[in-house]
């Protein structure tokens, strides 16, 4: 399967999120078309069939993602890690 570089995935996620905000504000056909294009691209590069699954898969491939707790913050510790002795 085609594996997109994490920087590409991050860029696609950021574009999709920004377009979601624009759609809520404007609702223009151009914004919707661009969202559809980004959603299609995310689905192709993640091997999924819907945008929700594509976003989850893309976020799990980003550096710092912790699939067990869905954390995407590389500098943050999960609650379980903070309880471990040093």
Helices (H) and strands (E) in the chain, counts: 4, 0
| Whole-number Å distance between alpha carbons of 84 and 54 | 33
> Is there a contact between 43 and 55 (Cβ–Cβ < 8 Å)?
no
80 is a domain residue: no
Range(s) of the domain holding residue 10: 6-63
10 is a domain residue: yes
74 is a domain residue: no
Return the DSSP state at 66.
B
Residue 29: predicted pLDDT: 92
Residue 64: predicted pLDDT: 83
12 is a domain residue: yes
Residue 12: predicted pLDDT: 97
pTM of the model: 0.72
Number of domains forming the structure of the chain: 1
Between 84 and 67, residue with greater pLDDT: 67
- The 10s digit of each residue's pLDDT in 66-83 is 666 554 444 444 444 444
């Amino acid at each position: 399967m085609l594996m997109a570089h994490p920087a590409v995935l991050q860029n696609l996620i950021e574009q999709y999120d920004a377009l979601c905000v624009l759609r809520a504000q404007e609702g223009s056909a151009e914004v919707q078309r661009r969202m559809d294009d980004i959603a299609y691209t995310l689905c192709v590069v993640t091997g999924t069939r819907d945008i929700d699954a594509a976003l989850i898969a893309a976020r799990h491939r980003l550096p710092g993602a912790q699939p067990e707790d869905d954390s995407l913050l590389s500098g943050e510790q999960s609650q379980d890690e903070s309880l471990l002795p040093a």
